[in-house]
Amino acid sequence: MSAATKESLFKCKSRRYTTVKVGGLEFTFQSLSEAEKSNFEKQVLNKDGNVKDNSRRLLLIATLVDGATHRPLLDDYDIGELGELDGAVTSQLFDAAMSHVGFADNEIEVLEKNSRPTKKGGSPSA
């Protein structure tokens, strides 16, 4: 193993792909650049750092690409329709996408749990 240099660091720009089999079909995911990953986080979190809604899984599944051309398989208009899929299929696709793009196993779920509103009238936490 050689020591990293500035030049070698900035060569880490190539896309990575992974293919998973779910429900008898092969699905290919494309890695995200740091900018794309940050943009995803912005789409999922509001300005207070709370999860906006339950579409976080669907947005990440939208990183699917065509296995042959590596072009996006889905567009923004498909996000709503993903909500109609079998929950087991979306869970498996979401888990594969999370792992491939570099999120920790439960990072999005932890963000959601930590962002749930507290009951009004309760004492503030320290």
- Go through the domains of the chain in sequence order and give each one's CATH number: 15-115 (3.30.2220.20)
The H or E element that residue 9 is part of is helix 6-9
Q: What does the pLDDT read at residue 123?
A: 47
Q: What does the pLDDT read at residue 115?
A: 55
Closest CA relative to residue 55, chosen from 64, 45, 44, 67: 44
Residue 91 · residue 82 · CB < 8 Å: no
Alpha helices in 11-120 (DSSP H): 34-44, 56-61, 79-82, 87-101, 107-115
125 Cβ neighbours under 8 A, 6+ residues apart: 118
pLDDT along the chain (126 residues), means of 10: 89 88 91 87 73 71 85 85 89 87 66 54 48
Q: What does the pLDDT read at residue 116?
A: 55
Residue 28's DSSP bridge partners are: 19, 65
Q: What does the pLDDT read at residue 26?
A: 93
pTM (2 d.p.): 0.69
Helices (runs of H) and strands (runs of E) counted in the chain: 6, 3
Q: Exposure of 99 by Cβ count < 10 A (0-12 exposed, 13-18 middle, 19+ buried)?
A: middle
51 Cβ neighbours under 8 A, 6+ residues apart: 44, 45, 108, 111, 112, 115
Q: What does the pLDDT read at residue 117?
A: 54
